[in-house]
Structure 1
Amino acid sequence: MKPTKELLFTYFAGQATSVQQKVIGEWLTDAGSRETYFQWLDEWERSFPQYVPDVARHLDEFRQRLDTPLHEQVPLVRQLPAEPRPFLTSGGWLVAASVALLLLAGGWLFREPLLYKTVTTGARQLRSLRLPDGSTVALNSNSSFRMPRLGYGWLSRRVTLTGDAVFDIKHLTNNQPFVVQTADGLAVEVLGTEFSVRSRSARAEVVLKRGKVNLQYTPANQPTQNVLMKPGDRVTLDGKGALRLQARADTTQFAHWRYRLFSFNDTSLREVASQIQSVFGVTVQLSDPALARRTLTGTIRAGSSDELADALAELLNLRVSHRDQYIMLSTPSETQINQ
């Protein structure tokens, strides 16, 4: 099947589906089709240039250089020796080896952006992504999502996540699994489902809303752990490297961060402070260790760390002070003594 020019333009823009990419890949196996491919690529790049020069500005700068005489003399060109010297002397071999090493090192260092596409969110930033196979990803603040640039959907659907994300995965006719790999070694394999993944320094967590998920975790020098999740299950990776399954968990509060809702169920203030830091990138300090053991139950809507801290202070009768990227929570009596 020969793809149309419109389909190739969609592919050049990075909007082709996995089926369309496969059609184009099969078409390119014919050597005669490659000339047409590069002709259409040249036409697309001319229609949608990646860089548009400011001709008027550069022409004006050139004219100014012509009108302004240079007082410095142009250095004379050094004459080459009459007899050519061999390049591959002992020093020449050293230079050639150094250049080759630099080229190899450059290719190794820049292989990541060439092979993978990475999307990163900052503090207080949410982002929704639509993948080429029709799947969707919702990224929380301070999160990073990586996917392969080539062959996604027909070679591999393995992605990498750091932070929080909600996945809504489409089932493919070739039954190719979708795998989320986290930095702590947890692999989440699905065929078609909706689930959330959290992968941060504190712990990893997977909550399944619908469908089926298989978790695989291989700690160092320990046997592989496998957990098959059903809708309503919640699995956490504890500090000892063990997967903990909580069946029939409360999924009514499924990934409330997408709507800037923060839900707590007998949650300690220490853990609340950790959540604020992971979502908004600020540091929350508790003036008294006893405050860390106080718990909170409820749902708070907040679009910033300041709003959430003010709501916590009102609910728990605390004093809050904001300073750059730091928030201090203290009891009213402590504030009076410090004053």
Structure 2
Amino acid sequence: MEPTRDLLFTYFAGQATSVQQKVIGEWLARPNSRETYFQWLDEWERSVPQYAPDVDRHLDRFRQRLDGPVDEYPRFVRQFPDEPRPFWHPGRWLVAATISVTLLACGWLAKDPLVYKTITTGPHQLRSLRLPDGSTVALNSNSSLKMPRIGYGWLSRRVALTGDAVFDVTHLSTNQPFVVQATDGLAVEVLGTEFSVRSRATQAEVVLKRGKVNLHYKTGNQTAQDLLMKPGDKVMVDGKGSLRLQDRLDTTRFATWRYRLFRFNNTSLREVAHQIQSVFGVSVQLTDPALARRTLTGTIRAGSSDELAEALAELLNLRVSHRDQNLIFSTATETQLTQ
């Protein structure tokens, strides 16, 4: 089927149906049809002009510009420089690079507090921690422990220590190791044991009381090495990476800093609460104001806030509840608060 002139005009106006467009397409595939197509297209464009300028009006405006040129550009017209500048000229590269470095630096600095949780102790302060896997850590004064906020216990059990700490590690059914990063060149890996670690700027020290410990250490430029420790072993690593092993250590004096003597002489429970907060970094709440006036005399040896709280509760016939980093004392007749 050969399309008519009117059908082509309808097609040029954008009003042809899909069937008509198909007919025109098949017709254009023929060798001799294109000349007729362009003749009708030229005729249609002349009869239906796409743009009809107002020649007289624009000529008048042009003559006015020639007679009195305008010194200033209209405010809505932007003036461009005589020589076009490339989009990524050196100045823009410098600005973009500065912004990128700043964003990366801010992201890196903000990364550590978001990913890791750090527990610290101040001067003359001890602190006992129970980790999500059931392991316990006793931190000495001026120490810090860093652990991941997410994934601890199922992704890894890796912590970093600065200072002194005693670890009592719980064995998991998955046999997932517990690793303490002491220094850049010393890592302590265990499966279930009790040991102490001292990590200072000039040296590191590991003492094993019971169980099994595998040390990963690196000396200078040498490859990393392993050392299997036995109960009673003490390993010291100096700032140069030199390792020294001392065996058959008397573990009865293991981490003596943990245990402190608390001496009370007609001391009120309010003052005792202040001492607990100062030494162990936990808050103490007395549910009854009358408890603050109760006094005690004696000496208590305790290595953690829990041990001291239990001893006080037994001596004064009180109940003690634990809630996060809070100890709550109440009388024996009060309803015990849930942990």
Q: TM-score when scaled to structure 1?
A: 0.49
Greater radius of gyration (CA): 2
TM-score by length of 2: 0.49
